[in-house]
Structure 1
């Protein structure tokens, strides 16, 4: 007889607005699983398992037939002598398994869900005739077992299911943050995650096998509508050889597909501003003026074109997203922690430091501001509790920006099953997006004019300018999979991804102006510094083959080749030709201007552009070897990546050569029941050089800064130039020949970063440069409990092997010349390489082989020792212990929880720098000078000791579902960033301003009160002392509770759902980011040090209404 288990599919009506569509690509699956499935690729999985008798003996020769519940195709395989079966290259989804064997009753299960989260099952067959009269033999059945083939850690999120039951923000980052060992990156980089101790620029994002990672910096990927996703897999460790080009996490998503049934629906999402709470104000952002409202309409349709053979899925997503925020600047005292606002007359404000910076004084109360102090009731005791330096200032609006996005998204997928085992897929989506940023009431309007943004009333003020950004583009990928026998499968894929990166100002002839004379950075010019026009294209193709053989056990050999070709056309020019900054040298002068109390202006010219290409290719081979009656599994793999970067002239400036990456793992079943696994792995990962390096390092970049005395301001806040200033410190020179306005005479009033020509690439890049790489070690345990519970614990250690950074190599050249040269050649060398003449892309802590650029040795290749250059080895050590619990959804309830205890220390975060928000991957200021690395070792910005996540749902009634999501994160640690004192390296690093780990320290405490304080940075008794990374401050614990209530509309004519989600239910107002810069550019104490920059996102609601059929 036939024993059939057809578990009732409990309709998710109470918890979904898209229930039917959610089941198109997969059945009800796991919410989050710590160990993804066996032998999967980017979009498909292999179904594996064993067939046993009720006595536990393997059944050889059993026939396993797998039928897709959605698309109707069928695959049949036969078990081997050990009772194991394998059905290769199946799309994720819901299947019917039918198992037949001679002498046993046929067993059928119509509700087997195969996903990346789990595709291994064990079937038990009852002896023939043991069940009569329709009686079901309870010993026959199916049980999910542990996947032993791979030992990848992370999570697989069935978005089409989980997001209908659990409160999750509608973006890929929020899904990634459900995985253990992930946290939100610094706000400077946008809404992107950090994974397994890496920086935000080290992750890779794929969808249906197409790489959509940001072309230029590696930070995030193309924005894809939430409803397009079916599953998102977050690989945080133990990643097999097939996957590469990352040293952080690998985010692999699949989209929805069509089936043999027509399904469709419309969904409306609304996040109203009226239901959004306000967070606290900071000294830079007027958060009580914040406006944020999001409206979305999503239409989806899917079904068969030819039943059982050709299917379609389509989505259209219209958006109307409006955000607005006012910014402030300190012109007097105010209680920011309570959102207070000083109320003074326009006449008084017109006489304040902000309106007339030339009257500002660092001494309290300052004669020009005594009337303002009296109006505000400020005394020397400073009863407001605000840093007393601000007793000279009032808090005034510095601008109001409104951003609007209305660009729609559309996409779709076609699936063709030519015959069983031969499959074609094609995915297309368009992510083009235009955002309009309108600025009102900024510093181009004086306070007295009434055109400035008013932080008391939140009136925007007069219109100033508009900046329009264009991002995204067309994307498509096609894939073929052919299963020719049960031991050989072949697949191939080709795709392209286009994206734009345009940013254009409505006032391109007006420059950016930052006034820093008071210590605070106040924007009084164009809010957009540069106009950029960029187009990029990624083209890829790949081929993979799977071969299954029996030789001293079972082997699954998988190998393949893939290649990516990236092309970028980019042009960037400073608006108004220049970026202007107003500064004051202070009582003792600063690192550039020796004269005390001198107001001056720096005028930076920046222009860059060209056509650049980057190529990446890789081939891999791995053997999944099963031994000892399927109790021991060895996964032995190797991957070889090669990276090539070319400059604007088409010359190769970096060729990585072979990057061999071992990917080794082993798992063992100590009990022998297929439900307990002990595993370990060693893996090496390599990261390509970001295309931003092509643009910045190898392009015809013209980048220089001029210094002039500031004698006054014009009505539009542009400067009245005085005499050029002969600056001091490393890198002082005359302006380059291509300068728009060369300096008259021979005054060295310039610092030149790039002279406008494409430099010889052999002088820019160390000839022994290696790609960034990370070594990873893991050891863990996993246990299946019952039919739906999985628990695990695993240890992870990641060590940064090699990092890339640009750095000045003058110190190494000087040491080389002193050892090898004499006379005029030595003199020429020492006069040329004075500290900031030649920089190169190198591996910190390693010798450098480079051609010299300048002096009588120009063009000569030399080897500079790491000791002579003086840079330490780049270090990042991440260690973590993770515990997970997952109870799969059964139509009634689900629960997932994970806890990660970790430490992340080193002297480099990664390709970017959260300390100062720098996104120039591989070109940050971290290692520019040896002095900038002093104090850099410590707890990194990516260090959060404790990371807790709990989420799940409960179907209270058939018409009512409740969901919850809790995330808790311990504080991040901060140091104090300031000016490197002159006595350390003669002023070279100090010329960068606040860029090193030195701040003014008295009696062991960082000073942030400049009143009466004289900074000494060029004497033995300097007040600028080391304040190492992570040694001074920390932000708050982060608590975020989400709640979700979904109500099914009682009707039989359609599937309707009304859903309410609330995020940050308790309206926590934790400080998320602090100001880590502790000095002004001149080295004086900064009153902003330690002040909050951002707070936790306040409570907000999302209302959703969906109708589906």
Structure 2
């Protein structure tokens, strides 16, 4: 890859040459010369050199939809220095609507053709670097180390998978026989940026007499929700690179490094910060350190070895201050943020062997590690529980001044928290007449080590609340609609249980959250693809990929196994005029998406419960003087710390998330040098995966079980089950008879509409 000069010689003399011939990843480049340039009847001429770039022809050897951006183009284009900003150059790619970024200092994640930000895949020199925990983003290169970036917006071949959206494939630079080096400093001061606009509550909230939290926050700040115009951001980027030969023609290296220093002011929303326990303004200081190293060894002309290392680690911290939303003024120092250090580091090795003129084998193995360290500032384990929503404490017991206690750290995580990924890829390319056959495997193992957290202090927190409906007249007598461990729903309203202390609507909740486990997932794939040059003008691409997905509980038991994910890929490219000036193309394929590691949280013996109480007073440290308990503990996700039968965690014969995609289009070279392209894309999401709770709100399941004479024992099943929404699902349940039963629930009975996007 890169830019080359191509020459035609006769008897050692240059007859004709082409400069600035660009070779891009995954594409062919046509270099045409005069018909008699090398013929036996040609005239003897002095050399002819074409210095200007020739008119670029259309690549008729590809059937997918991709955009390739080269290092030369990146030097010329005014872009943000992220892979995501580059991806926005491709048609059909926009910024995601959920506000997701690629790490603390990464770019806003892209959406390809309406897909979710978590449905994309990232590759770096052939290794899948997609974020292990949640599929949001991936490891990318320092800007100066990018040789080329492929952006697949659809129709990609069988070698790519585990994505319903798009693929960002980065190719890093490599050393050559010529020494190259450089450095740059980019300064982006806040004073040269426009201010953001402030955000306000809805107009009627300021004058409302309704006594709920949202309106109280609005009235306290004259309707201001977030003073975004007060935010500041300064950023300085330092980068450098060097590359060259270690041994001429044999051994080369390339090294690049980049550091981004970002500091400024961040002001939170008054709803998030006006609870008496946290500050509102943060002086933050972020650092992002990236590096990339590559060594290429040409053992012989036919045997090559590449070793790649890359890292993208961010560290964030800041000082938190009180903030007066009415006066828009910084207050007293409150505390420091926890220091967060996270980001992946990757090492890969790749072998390429040219075994004759028609056979090429490539083998890649790599490991990626992502430490995720969160270090609390001045954490005191003996400092008592966290006091949440202190602004909702009963003022009769506080005199109107919230009591927040001494604990400023809400939760703690393991210092050994880490994610790991191993990826093995093997590809065999065999050129047989008019066929180019590719066979390959693509195996991946992902792990989460000590993932999760526990609440600080004694392992629980207190959260204060208040309702304007203390007797639950509008809520069926319930202050909470979450499930209890027996399968019932909700906690009774405070006024019903304790008229003395609950009639005012004030209550407190004891929160318990313990979820700290290790687990893994394995993904395997096998593929075959034939690029068949049927005629000089017609190319067919016939591919088939088989994906297998297995996710495991912390105890090593598989809770989901999908091994029948067959994904055909069919495409064509028609060189209409035979001169690469007009291409008509199309593609039809199926694409599967595996579950991220984070899905396992539904099936660990985690505890996330809320127990409601009335109270008759508040101690100086913010802890309540409890009066009466409002029913048993409840959990929004039915996580009561029990180890459930994994057969109840996933419906029978669950279908992996997949979509079908059809693309038709054409590309035409215009006389002016412009290229006109038109394409249409239709995507149909066939199946998705979601979770649904086991509790009495799941009436369709309870009724279907009852029709079979089965009463579900909610203490024996999982907190929730993975299902295919919008389809008939066969649940696995444990009955009160102690036996396992299969219960089928139709889409109509479950109240699901037909699944579509």
Coarse TM-score class (shorter-chain normalised): 0.7 to 0.9
Give a deviation string over 1:703-739, Cα, whole Å, max 9, x none. 111112255555555545432123xxxxxxx34xxxx
Taking a change above 3 Å as real, the CA distance of residues 516 and 853 of structure 1, as seen in their structure-2 partners, is farther
- Secondary structure of 2:75's counterpart equals coil
User: Which residue number in structure 2 is paired with residue 177 of structure 1?
Assistant: 88
**Cα offset, 1:517, TM superposition:** 5.3
In the alignment, is the contact (CA less than 8 A) between 1:326 and 1:453 conserved in 2?
A: no
In the alignment, is the contact (CA less than 8 A) between 2:141 and 2:291 conserved in 1?
A: no
User: Which residue number in structure 2 is paired with residue 563 of structure 1?
Assistant: 443
Distance 1:562 1:323 in 2: 43
User: Which residue number in structure 1 is paired with residue 748 of structure 2?
Assistant: 867
Equivalent residue for 2:357, pick from 486, 490, 494: 486
User: Which residue number in structure 2 is paired with residue 237 of structure 1?
Assistant: 154
- Secondary structure of 2:700's counterpart equals helix
In the alignment, is the contact (CA less than 8 A) between 1:397 and 1:454 conserved in 2?
A: no
- Residue 610, structure 1, aligned to residue 513, structure 2: no
- Residue 797, structure 1, aligned to residue 668, structure 2: no
- Secondary structure of 2:436's counterpart equals strand
Equivalent residue for 2:467, pick from 570, 580, 585: 585
In the alignment, is the contact (CA less than 8 A) between 1:105 and 1:126 conserved in 2?
A: no
Equivalent residue for 1:168, pick from 75, 79, 93: 79
In the alignment, is the contact (CA less than 8 A) between 1:811 and 1:870 conserved in 2?
A: no
- Secondary structure of 1:113's counterpart equals strand
In the alignment, is the contact (CA less than 8 A) between 2:368 and 2:422 conserved in 1?
A: yes
**Cα offset, 1:549, TM superposition:** 1.3
Equivalent residue for 2:63, pick from 135, 138, 151: 151
- Residue 766, structure 1, aligned to residue 636, structure 2: no
Taking a change above 3 Å as real, the CA distance of residues 763 and 187 of structure 1, as seen in their structure-2 partners, is closer
In the alignment, is the contact (CA less than 8 A) between 1:813 and 1:833 conserved in 2?
A: no
Matches within 5 A, 1:211-610: 211-222=128-139, 224-282=141-199, 283-329=224-270, 398-406=279-287, 408-441=289-322, 452-453=323-324, 456=327, 458-506=329-377, 507=379, 509=381, 510-511=385-386, 513-514=388-389, 529-533=410-414, 534-550=417-433, 554-569=434-449, 570-576=451-457, 577-587=459-469, 589=472, 591=475, 592-593=478-479, 594=493, 595=495, 597-610=504-517
**Cα offset, 1:330, TM superposition:** 6.7
Taking a change above 3 Å as real, the CA distance of residues 133 and 775 of structure 1, as seen in their structure-2 partners, is closer
Distance 1:223 1:597 in 2: 55
Equivalent residue for 1:641, pick from 547, 552, 557: 547
User: Which residue number in structure 1 is paired with residue 104 of structure 2?
Assistant: none
Matches within 5 A, 1:55-66: none
Equivalent residue for 2:100, pick from 185, 189, 201: 189
Distance 2:425 2:663 in 1: 29
Distance 1:194 1:786 in 2: 33
Distance 2:724 2:509 in 1: 32
In the alignment, is the contact (CA less than 8 A) between 1:286 and 1:325 conserved in 2?
A: no
Taking a change above 3 Å as real, the CA distance of residues 354 and 415 of structure 1, as seen in their structure-2 partners, is closer
**Cα offset, 1:246, TM superposition:** 0.5
**Cα offset, 1:423, TM superposition:** 1.6
Give a deviation string over 1:1065-1106, Cα, whole Å, max 9, x none. xxxxxxxxxxxxxxxxxxxxxxxxxxxxxxxxxxxxxxxxxx
- Secondary structure of 2:563's counterpart equals coil
Question: What is the CA RMSD across the aligned residues, in angstroms?
Answer: 3.2
In the alignment, is the contact (CA less than 8 A) between 1:319 and 1:407 conserved in 2?
A: yes
User: Which residue number in structure 1 is paired with residue 3 of structure 2?
Assistant: 94
In the alignment, is the contact (CA less than 8 A) between 1:648 and 1:758 conserved in 2?
A: no
**Cα offset, 1:523, TM superposition:** 13
Taking a change above 3 Å as real, the CA distance of residues 398 and 286 of structure 1, as seen in their structure-2 partners, is farther
Give a deviation string over 1:616-652, Cα, whole Å, max 9, x none. 1101101111122x21111110100001111000111
Distance 2:403 2:588 in 1: 50
TM-score by length of 2: 0.82
- Secondary structure of 1:755's counterpart equals coil
User: Which residue number in structure 2 is paired with residue 996 of structure 1?
Assistant: none
Taking a change above 3 Å as real, the CA distance of residues 579 and 843 of structure 1, as seen in their structure-2 partners, is farther
- Residue 704, structure 1, aligned to residue 609, structure 2: yes
- Secondary structure of 2:614's counterpart equals strand
- Secondary structure of 2:579's counterpart equals coil
**Cα offset, 1:118, TM superposition:** 4.9
Distance 1:601 1:875 in 2: 41
- Secondary structure of 2:705's counterpart equals helix
Distance 2:746 2:545 in 1: 31
TM-score by length of 1: 0.57
Matches within 5 A, 1:1066-1077: none
**Cα offset, 1:660, TM superposition:** 0.4
In the alignment, is the contact (CA less than 8 A) between 1:513 and 1:718 conserved in 2?
A: no
Distance 2:440 2:403 in 1: 53
Taking a change above 3 Å as real, the CA distance of residues 618 and 875 of structure 1, as seen in their structure-2 partners, is same
Taking a change above 3 Å as real, the CA distance of residues 280 and 718 of structure 1, as seen in their structure-2 partners, is farther
Uncovered stretches (5+) of structure 2, i.e. residues with no partner = 102-107, 200-223, 394-401, 480-492, 496-502
Taking a change above 3 Å as real, the CA distance of residues 317 and 453 of structure 1, as seen in their structure-2 partners, is farther
Aligned residues between the structures: 676
Taking a change above 3 Å as real, the CA distance of residues 454 and 663 of structure 1, as seen in their structure-2 partners, is same
In the alignment, is the contact (CA less than 8 A) between 1:558 and 1:621 conserved in 2?
A: yes
Distance 1:523 1:491 in 2: 65
- Residue 112, structure 1, aligned to residue 21, structure 2: yes
Matches within 5 A, 1:1040-1079: none
**Cα offset, 1:606, TM superposition:** 1.2
Uncovered stretches (5+) of structure 1, i.e. residues with no partner = 1-91, 332-352, 357-395, 442-451, 727-733, 736-748, 877-1109
Give a deviation string over 1:410-465, Cα, whole Å, max 9, x none. 33111122222322111112323322243222xxxxxxxxxx55663542522224
Equivalent residue for 2:699, pick from 768, 786, 811: 811
Runs (4+) of structure 1 exceeding 6 A deviation are 353-356, 522-528, 749-752
Say which structure, 1 or 2, has more relative contact order (CA 8 Å, 6+ apart): 1
In the alignment, is the contact (CA less than 8 A) between 2:302 and 2:355 conserved in 1?
A: yes
Distance 1:354 1:847 in 2: 46
Distance 1:708 1:643 in 2: 44
Distance 1:135 1:163 in 2: 33
